Structure 1
Amino acid sequence: MATRRIISTEKTILDKDDDDLKPGTPGQPQSSSTAPAVPLDVIIKLLAFTFAMVIIPIGSYFLTVNTLFKGNSTYAGALAAIMANVVLVGYVVVAMNEDQSDQLAAKKKAGKKD
């Protein structure tokens, strides 16, 4: 049975992979960016709506089940479902407005260059 000898000038597959990871090789960026991929205000809006999606429906259920609906949990549950949908629609509206404002800012910037 014959074995293959590796010549010292010949690169193995692992050596070739290590060369691909070095900065400055074709297809690789020169330096890495440490900037976050998502802006902070977007993360804050997402966290706020996540918090609202948990608190508002549950809070509305427990606030209205005994006070407004006098123990009828069906109506209180329906109100909680409606409030969850209100929060969801609010998030969609805020996200659409944010997207439109980004597009308008890009158009203004392109208009000033001309």
Structure 2
Amino acid sequence: MATRRNVPEKTISEAQGGPSTSAQISDTTPAVPAAVIYKLLGFTAAMICIPIGSYFLSVNTIFKGKSIRNASYAGAFAAILANVVLVAYIIVAMREDQSENIEAEAKRKKGQ
């Protein structure tokens, strides 16, 4: 059976005619913009707080009682609100994606 040998990757140093270390470009921009991370964190917090909060709020105020039926209604209400948060996140993500495409198209037309 053949074995694979790991061969180290060759780099071109300055002495061999490569670019100097100061001339090399270092791209330190984040892969994901900060606004996207903040939106994700906001919707994550909403996905946790809204269903749990709506359950306890509705079981004590709207459905008034500790019976199984009232708790089931409150749980269904919390599940519906969790789906509302999820759909809202999808809509925000789709609009963000469309706005990036519109901006790119506007820049392309401006450059022509």
TM-score scaled by structure 2?
A: 0.77
How much does 1:111 deviate? 0.4
1:19 counterpart (7, 10, 31): 10
> What does 1:7-86 correspond to in 2, within 5 Å?
16-17=7-8, 19=10, 30-71=24-65, 72-86=70-84
Counterpart amino acid of residue 64 in structure 1: S
Q: Which runs of 5+ in 2 are unaligned?
A: 19-23
How much does 1:31 deviate? 4.0
Counterpart amino acid of residue 42 in structure 1: V
Name the residue aligned to 1:97: 95
Q: Which runs of 4+ in 1 moved over 4 A?
A: none
How much does 1:19 deviate? 2.7
| Structure ID, larger Rg | 1
Q: Which runs of 5+ in 1 are unaligned?
A: 1-12, 25-29
Output the aligned Cα RMSD. Answer: 2.4
Counterpart amino acid of residue 62 in structure 1: F
Q: Tell me the distance in 1 between the aligned counterparts of 2:61 and 2:52.
A: 15
Counterpart amino acid of residue 93 in structure 1: I
Structure with higher RCO (Cα < 8 A, 6+ apart):
2
TM-score scaled by structure 1?
A: 0.76
